[in-house]
Structure 1
Amino acid sequence: MRDSESLTVPIGLDREARRPLQDQLADQLAAAVDRGQLARGHRLPSTRTLSERLDVSRGVALAAYEILYSRGYLESRRGSGTYVAGRTAARPATPPAAAPRGEPIDCTPGQATRDGFPLAAWRAAWRHASFPPPPACDLPAGGLPELRGAIGEHLRRTRGLVAQEHEVLITTSASRGIEHVLDLLGAGGRRVAVQDPAPPALSRAVGNAGATAVALPATRDGQWTGVVPPSCTAVVVSPDGPAPRGTVLPALRRRQLADWARRENGHLVAVAQDHIVPSAAPLPRLLHLAGPRVVVVGDFRTVFAPSLRVGYVLVHRGLLADAPRDACRGHDQPSAVAQSAMAHLLAEGHVTRRLRRLARLFECKDALVRTTLEPLARLTPGTPGSVVVHLPDDVRAEHVHAELSLRGVVVPTLASYHLPGRPADNALVLGYGHLPDRALRTTLHELAAVLRSDHTVVGRACGL
Structure 2
Amino acid sequence: MPESDDALLIRLDRESRAPLAVQLADALRAAAAAGQLRAGDRLPSTRTMASHLKVSRTVTSAAYDQLLAEGWIVGKHGSGTYVTTAPPGSSPVPAERARTEAPEADVVSLELGRPWVGGLDRAAWRRAWRSAADAEPMVRHMPAGLPEYREAVAEHLLRHRGLTIRGGLATEAVLATSGTASAVAELALSQFRPGDAVAVEDPGYQRAVGALQAAGLRVLPVPLDQDGLLVDQIPVGVRALYCSPAHQYPLGSRLPAARRVALVERARRDGLLIIEDDYDGELRYDVAPLPLLAALAPDVVVHLGTTSKILTPTLGAGWLVAPPAVAGALLAHRERTGTGPAPAGQRVLVELARNGDLGRHLRRLRRELSERRVLVVEALRTAGIPVLGDDAGSHVVVLLPSVEKERGVVRAAARLGVKIDGLERHHAGPSRWHGVAIGYTACSRDQLISVLPPLIELLAT
The equivalent residue for 1:406 is 415
C-alpha spacing 1:29/1:108, structure 2 compared with 1 (3 Å): closer
Residue 312 of structure 1 aligns to which amino acid in structure 2?
W
The equivalent residue for 1:19 is none
The equivalent residue for 1:445 is 453
Q: Contact 2:143–2:339 (CA<8 Å) still a contact in 1?
A: no
- Displacement of 1:330 after TM fit? 3.1
The within-5 A match list for 1:120-131 is 120-131=123-134
Q: Contact 1:385–1:434 (CA<8 Å) still a contact in 2?
A: no
- Displacement of 1:433 after TM fit? 2.6
* Count of aligned pairs between the two proteins: 395
TM-score by length of 2: 0.74
Instruction: Write the deviation string for residues 178-223 of structure 1: whole angstroms up to 9, x where unpaired.
Output: 1111222124321111122222222222222221221223225534
- 2:261 equivalent to 1:255: yes
The within-5 A match list for 1:49-198 is 84-85=53-54, 96-98=83-85, 101-103=102-104, 104-135=107-138, 137-164=139-166, 166-198=172-204
SS at match of 1:232: coil
C-alpha spacing 1:246/1:450, structure 2 compared with 1 (3 Å): closer
Given candidates 218, 221, 235, the residue that maps to 2:241 is 235
Please tell me the root mean square deviation across aligned C-alpha atoms, in Å: 3.7
SS at match of 2:449: helix
Residue 253 of structure 1 aligns to which amino acid in structure 2?
R
Aligned equivalents of 2:50, 2:199: Cα separation in 1: 66
- 2:281 equivalent to 1:312: no
Given candidates 267, 272, 282, the residue that maps to 1:276 is 282
Residue 446 of structure 1 aligns to which amino acid in structure 2?
P
Instruction: Write the deviation string for residues 329-351 of structure 1: whole angstroms up to 9, x where unpaired.
Output: 43744433322111111233323
C-alpha spacing 1:299/1:394, structure 2 compared with 1 (3 Å): closer
C-alpha spacing 1:436/1:207, structure 2 compared with 1 (3 Å): same
Instruction: Write the deviation string for residues 87-138 of structure 1: whole angstroms up to 9, x where unpaired.
Output: 9769899984449952233322110123322112111110101123422x13
Q: Contact 1:134–1:336 (CA<8 Å) still a contact in 2?
A: no
Q: Contact 1:361–1:433 (CA<8 Å) still a contact in 2?
A: no
Given candidates 327, 336, 346, the residue that maps to 1:339 is 346
Aligned equivalents of 2:419, 2:257: Cα separation in 1: 36
Aligned equivalents of 2:259, 2:296: Cα separation in 1: 11
The equivalent residue for 1:59 is none
Residue 302 of structure 1 aligns to which amino acid in structure 2?
K
Given candidates 200, 217, 225, the residue that maps to 1:219 is 225
SS at match of 2:208: helix
Residue 270 of structure 1 aligns to which amino acid in structure 2?
E
Provide the identity percentage: 26
Q: Which runs of 5+ in 1 are unaligned?
A: 1-7, 12-21, 37-70, 76-82, 454-464
TM-score by length of 1: 0.74
